[in-house]
Structure 1
């Protein structure tokens, strides 16, 4: 055993996962480590050496990973490892050879631990084992803890929206038979001090609900006969979720439909009730109130105020540590509601009920809104699909709809959604098309689109129905999914386009930065995942538009191991988190809302977040390696 110098202990405990391990386990590891030197260009590990024999922890220098399938050019490398990083964890865990060539990028010193001692340490130290088996997820948890500490909120606030509904249900549900009289039901509500009553059948299946709000609207004001069965006045349009559903899903359901309660149902049996108060007493964000304001807005001015409320809500939730996947869904859902109300108000004047166009148009969201991935900085990407009524032509319908679309786009601009500089909006006649015309456009892109044209057209493949006759968009999606899947030339071109945008990892430095020493977190960080997920979903016939859902739904068809897909997803979500934090911090400054961008100076990040960002970019390269392998690029 070698003697341990204090500087060695100081160095090793500055880096994950060793910083969270028990001291005795770190000491045990250091006692068994040897220090080795590798000259610049020397191979440290390669597939030809057989099963991995040791774990390396870089003390000084640079290690580069080379894997030809992932290269965009001859001088591009697969990954770059810096001081404090360890490798090859995956090969050691699987007791296999490494998949890449690890080469010293400069004169490099590494601590080495034998494979046998590595596996003993896995059994000794839970933090070490967790890090090795869930590398990027573990790093993300470290970062989340730091973020939460910075915002200084209680753990109850942090966890509420991420908790399963089973953890939020406070008591067994109080129910009555549907034939119970209104009077008897009200007396039970008073005695039990509850704000709602659910009618259930003999098997415990919910049939209706009566809330205190209903009592005023349906009993007191109309002065109904309280001797009649309570089911007669109950709301029978019920919203329910299973107990394993998360609180944020219940919150979104309440916001979308304007309800104050969600039933928790398992195998058709009522097991609990979750109220708006349960979800948001701690959060202090009135999501249903914002949704209600939007749904009942009767002027652009009211909607402008609602848009400001959405941004404040997002700020609050960001400060409370709400996960990026959930937060972008909240932002997109409320932006959906607001956009739908703008469209509804403007359509009422142009296409009222009875007009042949009233039931034959659909407003579609594209881009980040189509993917339910909007942040605090977002412009408009939208389009219209319409059905041509009998006696009219597509051009006649379009001429009627274009002024309407322009008014909608302008109102959305007033609400804080800037007009698209590229004119990808429904008010552009190129994107206000009939069912047949949309199929012709997609057919042209798929069958004969030039690479540059496909690059600009990619966001159209993320379309999602937002308002109107949703079946028009659904039918277009079903047709497109089937049409694209068999066209390998198109998918090959899409993949080639995607690989033109490489994650900004450096060889000498951690990152390749652009103007002002900054990275573009959207173009170089998010886009590689979005592009790959889009291609994977099109190739595997998945009809979803959300990036995370696309990756998960495509994984099995593409034979990607679930843990690998989750690593991609965690990386994507971490970059989204950095974008949201960057927007949040910028908007907190005076005039910051007008200066929101996606450019971040990595030097301003703490050491942990820089390390995770590097790991996230490596995962982006792995996603692109999968694309390169699938399409031989």
Structure 2
């Protein structure tokens, strides 16, 4: 071999080693780790390496249309924009090795709105626009990331979480399965005039546990189940020729084929039913039973809810708390999101609370006056996790102060018994005494209205804190009309008080997300038992909860759930839809990390807590957690602009 050939061969070898080394580097980061090797090789072959000294501009709006995708190989870059207040410059993002920018501008074939500055000596891989466009059409993971950004990374995290849980539980199916897929067989139905004898014959012939009665247009008007049959036999009244219309349950629960297995499970749990009809265009197309869901999910959600509601002793309810924890593991394996899981936990907690109240009424006797059991805070928002304490109160109707005092005297002993029983069931007593057994929280509707008015008219620090608890309320047991009227009064009072709105917004900005000036860094505790940790609840979730609350209350939105508040705020045009989606994704991810943290604590027999060392997370989780905290910062910045803070 000649020297020239040897030199050329050496050069080829160096190029190949460089390509392979770059590919190995990219394979450490999403979305590159999801790409086919041929597509990744194409990307690397069409990249060139460029150096930027600390302080250099990498890409800026004045450069015009973006021509390259930048992938950081070494160093880091700051993204900066003019401050929302108009004063100075804000660092809106910090981009670390393995991350790329400015993706949205490149997809939109436009200039960037952000000034990207090298924060230190930095090397970037530059992919030209034509090669970027080709990869968009050829690589699904690359296209998904380019078009959806952090959303696609969240999907990846959720898939990994689900896969890990599924490996442990042997799960094969998803709670997102559509009912149209589950209700594939033609439903067994009858029409008016069918006798009990004929109904039983049809159910036996088709081996089904329910029979749906339909009208001439095939719309379900009633359902008869094996449970109904057992009741008929137990009653011993009538014969087999009885018309089914007199024995069936009218107006059965209905969902469309597009609804999911989770929707069906939640409906069954809420209504204590074992069957529901799948209806499309006002026509029966299928029936879903709890057995179908159990076969699909291996999750006994409806059965657990029914067991809770039928418990005969407080000790039995306490024992069922472990089953709820196992259920959450199972549902996570079947693809349930944190929002779904907190909704289910809250639903089961509601069943537990209601059963405790009923057991205490049986044990101590009814007080002789109707009352409503209220819940506040995370339970009021339907956002409870396994780690929860009590925040509750009582509302009743009374004609005047004397009558209210008399009713309160009859209700307080019962309320205290309920609080103690709930404590036995794992709902720890509130250290701040936010409980129905407190005379200050066992009030008539008029007294509650006056108390809320006092909070709004005198918004000092303590009252602002109370508003963050009491203004997320809903009824769990008893008449609901009084609570609706109370909340309507609350919305009217807030709408008429701009000062209180502004102070609530100020309060919503007190808990700052735990990221520093350089967004790559988490702000963690520096000393004591909490050293090197951050609080996922107070510093991560609370900024979203508080921000959504003030905007919702100020705009007459009755919904208490944080994510639903964001959706309704977007529907009303109070915030942009894309911002609402970003806040929702960020909240969703922080809640996911928090629930995983609680699961680990439970498995290890540790006390539940919300403090986490971010160094225990992998690089992908850290990356998305930083972005989630940044969304909380954006929400607080917009509150500051809206209320001129």
Match of 2:539 in 1: 524
Structure 1 range deviating more: 451-460 or 155-164: 155-164
Give 1:71 shift: 8.5
Is 1:512 the equivalent of 2:497? no
Match of 2:455 among 440, 445, 448: 445
Structure 1 range deviating more: 109-118 or 278-287: 109-118
Is 1:26 the equivalent of 2:40? yes
Match of 1:628 in 2: 640
SS where residue 160 of structure 1 aligns?
coil
The change in CA–CA distance for 1:71 and 1:25 in structure 2 (over 3 A counts) is: farther
Match of 2:505 among 495, 508, 515: 495
Match of 1:470 in 2: 480
Match of 2:21 in 1: 7
Structure 1 range deviating more: 68-77 or 138-147: 68-77
Partners of 1:92 and 1:454 lie apart in 2 by 45
Give 1:259 shift: 1.1
Match of 1:427 in 2: 437
Give 1:116 shift: 4.7
Deviations 1:167-224 (A, max 9, x none): 2113111111120121112111121122111111111121221212222221465153
Question: Does structure 2 conserve the Cα–Cα contact (< 8 Å) formed by 1:529 and 1:547?
Answer: yes
Question: Does structure 2 conserve the Cα–Cα contact (< 8 Å) formed by 1:71 and 1:77?
Answer: no
Match of 1:170 in 2: 184
Give 1:46 shift: 3.6
Question: Does structure 2 conserve the Cα–Cα contact (< 8 Å) formed by 1:504 and 1:512?
Answer: yes
The change in CA–CA distance for 1:224 and 1:292 in structure 2 (over 3 A counts) is: same
Deviations 1:258-309 (A, max 9, x none): 2110111223321110000000124333222222222223332222223333
Match of 1:616 among 616, 621, 628: 628
Match of 1:194 among 200, 208, 212: 208
Give 1:73 shift: 11
Partners of 1:89 and 1:599 lie apart in 2 by 33
Deviations 1:511-559 (A, max 9, x none): 2222331221111111121112212212332111111111111113235
Partners of 2:71 and 2:574 lie apart in 1 by 31
SS where residue 430 of structure 2 aligns?
coil
Match of 2:563 among 519, 526, 548: 548
Partners of 2:67 and 2:469 lie apart in 1 by 46
Question: Does structure 2 conserve the Cα–Cα contact (< 8 Å) formed by 1:58 and 1:109?
Answer: yes
The change in CA–CA distance for 1:299 and 1:557 in structure 2 (over 3 A counts) is: same
Match of 1:45 among 59, 76, 89: 59
Structure 1 range deviating more: 307-316 or 197-206: 307-316
Question: Does structure 2 conserve the Cα–Cα contact (< 8 Å) formed by 1:158 and 1:322?
Answer: no
Question: Does structure 2 conserve the Cα–Cα contact (< 8 Å) formed by 1:537 and 1:543?
Answer: yes
Match of 1:585 among 574, 595, 600: 600
SS where residue 77 of structure 1 aligns?
strand
Give 1:456 shift: 4.4
Is 1:214 the equivalent of 2:224? no
**Structure 1: runs of 5 or more not aligned:** none
SS where residue 34 of structure 1 aligns?
strand
The change in CA–CA distance for 1:73 and 1:310 in structure 2 (over 3 A counts) is: farther
SS where residue 415 of structure 2 aligns?
helix
TM-score when normalising by structure 1: 0.92
Is 1:94 the equivalent of 2:108? yes
Deviations 1:562-603 (A, max 9, x none): 3432232122111111111111111112x33xx111111221
Match of 2:242 in 1: 228
Structure 1 range deviating more: 128-137 or 461-470: 128-137
Deviations 1:338-394 (A, max 9, x none): 1112123334566738x2x22xx2111111111111111111111222211479433
Question: Does structure 2 conserve the Cα–Cα contact (< 8 Å) formed by 1:153 and 1:320?
Answer: no
Query: Which structure is higher in RCO with an 8 Å CA cutoff and minimum separation 6?
Result: 1
Partners of 1:164 and 1:508 lie apart in 2 by 40
SS where residue 250 of structure 2 aligns?
coil
Partners of 1:174 and 1:586 lie apart in 2 by 47
Larger radius of gyration: 2
Match of 1:564 in 2: 579
The change in CA–CA distance for 1:316 and 1:191 in structure 2 (over 3 A counts) is: same
SS where residue 15 of structure 1 aligns?
coil
Deviations 1:102-150 (A, max 9, x none): 2222222222234454334323322212112222221122112222332
Question: Does structure 1 conserve the Cα–Cα contact (< 8 Å) formed by 2:173 and 2:296?
Answer: no
Question: Does structure 1 conserve the Cα–Cα contact (< 8 Å) formed by 2:80 and 2:89?
Answer: no
TM-score when normalising by structure 2: 0.90
Is 1:537 the equivalent of 2:552? yes
Partners of 1:111 and 1:236 lie apart in 2 by 66
Partners of 2:629 and 2:504 lie apart in 1 by 20
The change in CA–CA distance for 1:327 and 1:239 in structure 2 (over 3 A counts) is: same
Give 1:91 shift: 2.6
Following superposition of structure 1 onto structure 2, how do residues 125-140 of structure 1 map, counting pairs within 5 Å? 125-140=139-154
SS where residue 531 of structure 2 aligns?
helix
Structure 1 range deviating more: 89-98 or 408-417: 89-98
Question: Does structure 2 conserve the Cα–Cα contact (< 8 Å) formed by 1:451 and 1:493?
Answer: no
Partners of 2:425 and 2:86 lie apart in 1 by 42
Partners of 2:447 and 2:87 lie apart in 1 by 40
Partners of 1:179 and 1:156 lie apart in 2 by 46
Partners of 2:194 and 2:301 lie apart in 1 by 33
Structure 1 range deviating more: 269-278 or 162-171: 162-171
Give 1:94 shift: 3.1
Deviations 1:482-504 (A, max 9, x none): 33234332222222222222221
Give 1:233 shift: 1.5
Match of 1:607 among 591, 595, 619: 619
SS where residue 297 of structure 2 aligns?
coil
SS where residue 126 of structure 2 aligns?
strand
